[in-house]
Structure 1
């Protein structure tokens, strides 16, 4: 019988079959050792997860105890939260629907103007803060700046900008410049500079170093290294982060009015204090619809910038 026929007649498990020698066999002890190591790794991971959960729960309990948070008070008065939204809902009847709607939205022209002021405050604050964060982010990037002192100081400045809440900055600027939109713009600009500066710096530190090294090796200055080596790689991400921040700042600008920093928030807090419930619901509805529209538009634009136009929610 020829060789091919002989191979066909031999069973695969036969010691003479070549397929038997082609597949390596692990000793039983080696397989048992690998299984034990895998089981030990899984057990160690589970212990870390449980330990982390226990620490998180313990910290939450300690924070609640130190903050004098009363769980009983929360459970007892939780019903007030949905009850408030029920109380501010407008009352409509079928017979007088149009007149009820007109009464509910009686201040629409004024609220629309104040809402426009809020959008302008958010826009100017975002633009100013983004430009400031853009100027500082390269100085906070360790892969572009050799001076550790410069990087350290710039990062601390950005931390200060984003650590202080916007409303605290707004209170300070209201005392300095008086009531109006200027304190709101400055407060949002400073906080935005800190937040975007950090995000921009993290993007810069993750760029491909080859273009940067190429520009530097050809004798380019530091500004030229940033302009031609780093900026083309990060510009679309910068714009995407700025658009996302604008969406956040629209909500922040509405709160600025609570301390007299302009915008629709001033009328909202006044309606809350005077128990004008229907005015509260109307203003909240305008804010929610505006934020939803801006969220949709900025999301589409960000996806287009990042090449993700097809990945809609």
Structure 2
């Protein structure tokens, strides 16, 4: 008994020693990386700290000074905002549809070709791992600037993200309806559409709405690299500098209000979908 206790204490001490060593290595690497980055930074991170809020102060100062012009700017940049929301909506719709199809092919117990599960999962990993801005830059080089490269880039990332989430939802679906449909001769597509999708549709829609919020922010960011939308206007106003900061503030406010409104609406529908589905299961 004593030997077991001594062995346990020895293992605990060894684990603590290993964790301490790993923590020290992490701290050393972090400090070394910070020093290297700071040394290569043009102005130096420490030297630039006092100027952190200068840009924000300039933007807020001009916005307050020309507050009477903000409503006109809202109207001016509203079409660009609509373009940004359209990019996000189209990419979410396309990405969700492709993700639904791929999720069925990578779900164990549902996939028609089991050996294809692992390769397709790696494809989803790659789509999630590559940032939208990298894909957008490549597509802009090939297709030129505009909303189409942004839509394709965001849709590809959406396929990777939603494909994984949808497949996890599929794994929790009951197989009894699928088996019943198979017993009467239903094909694989019919079994998926009639036996699986009705069970998981509320979760699909919930995840898709959440992704729509994320894609609005992503489409605004991609505008900085020439992919159209309100991000492109924001880049131009910020690049202009003094004299255009009031317009940049108006764009910030427009984007902020849009994200808040979409977040509230989608949160409402997500709660209704998920809680409604849970209440329905409880009644059954």
| TM-score, normalised via structure 2 length | 0.81
Counterpart in 2 of 1:80? 51
Q: Distance in 2 between matches of 1:220 and 1:287?
A: 48
Match of 1:304 among 272, 276, 283: 272
Query: Are 1:181 and 2:152 an aligned pair?
Result: no
Distance 1:91-1:134 versus aligned 2 partners, 3 A rule: same
- Worse-superposed segment, 199-208 or 73-82: 73-82
Query: Are 1:214 and 2:180 an aligned pair?
Result: yes
Contact 2:74 2:254 in 1 (8 A): no
Contact 1:118 1:263 in 2 (8 A): yes
Unaligned runs of 5+ in 1: 1-32
- Worse-superposed segment, 137-146 or 83-92: 83-92
Bigger Rg, structure 1 or 2:
1
The equivalences for 1:46-125 within 5 A come to 55=22, 58-59=25-26, 61-63=28-30, 65-66=32-33, 68-70=36-38, 73-91=44-62, 100-125=66-91
Provide the aligned length of Structure 1 versus Structure 2: 266
Query: Are 1:149 and 2:115 an aligned pair?
Result: yes
Unaligned runs of 5+ in 2: 278-284
The equivalences for 1:1-313 within 5 A come to 55=22, 58-59=25-26, 61-63=28-30, 65-66=32-33, 68-70=36-38, 73-91=44-62, 100-145=66-111, 147-275=113-241, 276-307=244-275
Q: Distance in 2 between matches of 1:50 and 1:287?
A: 49
Q: Secondary structure, in 3 states, of the residue corresponding to 1:90?
A: helix
Distance 1:84-1:238 versus aligned 2 partners, 3 A rule: same
The structure with higher relative contact order (CA 8 Å, sep 6+) is 2
Alignment root-mean-square deviation, CA: 3.0
| TM-score, normalised via structure 1 length | 0.74
Q: Distance in 2 between matches of 1:271 and 1:189?
A: 28
Structure 1 residue 155: Cα displacement:
1.2
Contact 2:95 2:159 in 1 (8 A): yes
Contact 2:90 2:151 in 1 (8 A): yes
Counterpart in 2 of 1:11? none
Q: Secondary structure, in 3 states, of the residue corresponding to 2:53?
A: helix
Structure 1 residue 250: Cα displacement:
0.3
Q: Distance in 2 between matches of 1:159 and 1:102?
A: 49
Deviations 1:33-65 (A, max 9, x none): 9xx98xx79x95x99689668636643642552
Distance 1:180-1:48 versus aligned 2 partners, 3 A rule: same
Structure 1 residue 244: Cα displacement:
0.2
Structure 1 residue 297: Cα displacement:
0.7
